[in-house]
Amino acid sequence: MKKLTLKKIILLLFISSVFTLAVFLGLNNKNNFNSINNENDKRQSIILSVYKFYSIGFSVENRPINITEIGYGNDIGIVLIGCIHGDESNTGELVNMLKEKYLAAPELIPDNLRMYFLPEYNIDGKLNESRYNSNNVDLNRNFPVENWESDAYTDGCIQTSSGGTAPGSEPETAALIQWIINNVKKTVKHIVVISFHNQYSPTGVVQPGYIEYETPGDKSNPLAQFIAEKSGYIYLECWISDIQLTGELINWCETQGIVSVDLELPDNNSPETIPSGKTETTINTIEYVLEQLLLYYKISN
């Protein structure tokens, strides 16, 4: 048997050390890779557990009315509605932008809350650039409340059948009502509805839900005042009009014990623009309002 020289022994030891190091680094990298994958899988699982996308019904022209639900809390559900009037497209854009923010960071929603985003409620009207749905009905005059009228005051005058053929006659109205009663009410203890409109120039305005016209609801009124304070918009007890508005969503919400407000944006421009006389973009203003609202509900519960 040949004897190993000192040089060969040193060389063999060196090769062995290099091999051992390579194996260690390979395993370590594999563990790191697996760890990263596990973290990604965990985050994906968390996102999927707090995110739902579904349709609550269909429009007159058979288009889906889509909802994005984020969060898993059972105490409070906040419903954000855009485009109840189809020609107020920046309200839908605003709700979509808010949805994307909370989809990207669902951890911003407190554990006791969940949020519902309905950006294109009157989807037919939006695509047709019309205030009305495809039956020429103003959806915000079609809700089944005591003061409902078929010939409703809308867009500055009384219009024949603009309130629908009957209270809740429109498929969009029926879909929203059934979803709130059969889904949201059975999921959370308290519901807050914010319905976006435009344009109340130059200030923007917040109006609380009501049962009796010109008499703010007991629970909706504090919410409206809170939002007005945080947004810098004007608070109105009741919409200023010579003729009473009928069949409104916030009227129906109040009859169901649901806290609600109409939130009128200052203009009909993109939410990423700064309205005349303001110092912040519309999206920044509403994002701040929501942050403060979520914080308030987190602390109060």
* Domains detected in the chain: 52-300 (3.40.630.10)
**Residues with Cβ < 8 Å from 180, sequence gap 6 or more?**
79, 191, 256, 258
Please report the pLDDT score of residue 128 as a whole number: 97
Angle at 116 between CA 113 and CA 121, to 5 degrees: 160
Amino acid at 276: S
Contact criterion met (CB below 8 Å) for 54 and 67: yes
pLDDT under 50 in the chain at which residues? Answer: 1-2, 4, 9, 11, 18, 21-25, 27, 30, 32-33, 36, 42-43
Q: DSSP readout, 53-72?
A: EEEEEE-TT--EEEEEEEE-
Q: What span, in angstroms and rounded, lies between the C-alpha atoms of 286 and 278? A: 13
Quickly count: other Cβ atoms within 10 Å of residue 32's Cβ.
10
Please report the pLDDT score of residue 23 as a whole number: 47
Q: What span, in angstroms and rounded, lies between the C-alpha atoms of 223 and 263? A: 11
Angle at 124 between CA 238 and CA 132, to 5 degrees: 40
Give helix then strand counts, H and E, for the chain.
Answer: 8, 10
Please report the pLDDT score of residue 43 as a whole number: 47
Q: Which residues pair with 66 in a beta bridge?
A: 55
Phi-psi region of 7 (alpha: psi -120 to 50; beta: other; left: phi over 0): alpha
Residue 179 carries which DSSP code?
H
Q: Which residues pair with 153 in a beta bridge?
A: 158
Angle separating helix axes 220-231 and 282-300, nearest 10 degrees: 130
Contact criterion met (CB below 8 Å) for 265 and 201: no
Please report the pLDDT score of residue 94 as a whole number: 98
Phi, psi of 9 (to 5 degrees): -60, -45
Rounded to the nearest integer, the mean pLDDT of the chain is 89
Please report the pLDDT score of residue 233 as a whole number: 98
Identify the helix (H) or strand (E) that includes residue 79. strand 76-81
* Global confidence as pTM: 0.85
